[in-house]
Amino acid sequence: MSYLDSLFSLKGKVALVTGGGRGIGQVVALGLANAGAETVIVSRTGADETVAQIQKAGGKAYSLIADITNEKAVDAALKEIVSRSGALHIVFNNAGICIHKDTLDASIAEWREVLDINLTGEYVVARAAGRLMIEKGIKGSIINMASMSGSIVNIPQWQASYNASKAGVIHMTRSLAVEWSEYGIRVNSLSPGYIATPMSVDTPKELKDAWMPLIPAHRMGKPEELIGAVIYLAADSSGYTNGSDLIVDGAYVCI
């Protein structure tokens, strides 16, 4: 293995992906496995298809069922990962939801649901992983899923709860990065733009028609175009990258 290859290799690492049953989570899980990581998918409904694809390609993977907002369930899942795999080196904190509603029409229950999954859920997973890494002396990498919506206000759809949750993820990431730096744990966030996944592809056509002229690249991104960013943040190549928000959005936030 060349020096360059070793910088981006995840061989011998154990990676956790939340919400890896479909969309970005599934694609990134496949990418992490292809880079050599044993990959564990944690989701509310299971991820048999993702695991099967990884195993068919010769990789090691399994899935666990847990609600990321449930602290006891997350702790139990991480305990099982250590029992089965021996360690946990990488976390891709990906699970999330979005509700497009005008603020005056959205309920407080909907606000709380989005914040609970997107922000509190990521906090629960990151906190449990950080505690485990510190106890085991693991110099790990935690990658929190944010969004360009944490830096800008999307139009024409209104999604105050989603935007607030992702802005919270970005600053939570910075806070954890500083707090855990002394343990050698790196915490960064990934902020995609409009990516062609079920969350955005199933969006009404009038919204997508409004987005396209605003994207300098004049297209939505592909989930596969996020793999390199995640592997960079997970691997030794990013050893001095900590507390950063990596935006992959086709230059949307530049205008």
Q: Which residues are catalytic?
A: 147, 162, 166
Whole-number Å distance between alpha carbons of 81 and 64: 9
Nearest C-alpha neighbor of 129 from the set 83, 59, 181, 77: 77
**For 57-107, where are the alpha helices, taking DSSP H only?**
71-85
Dist CA 127 CA 135 (whole Å): 12
In 3-state terms the chain splits into helix, strand, coil percentages (rounded to 5) of 50, 15, 35
Q: Comparing C-alpha atoms, which of 27, 76, 45 is closest to residue 231?
A: 27
Do 122 and 189 meet the contact criterion of CB atoms below 8 Å apart? no
Residue 37 has φ and ψ, to the nearest 5°, of -80, 140
Task: Quote the radius of gyration of the chain (alpha carbons, Å).
Answer: 17
The answer to whether the CB of 8 falls within 8 A of the CB of 207 is no
**Residue indicated by tokens 């309920």:** 107
In the chain, alpha helices (H): 3-8, 23-34, 48-56, 71-85, 108-115, 121-136, 160-180, 198-201, 205-211, 227-234
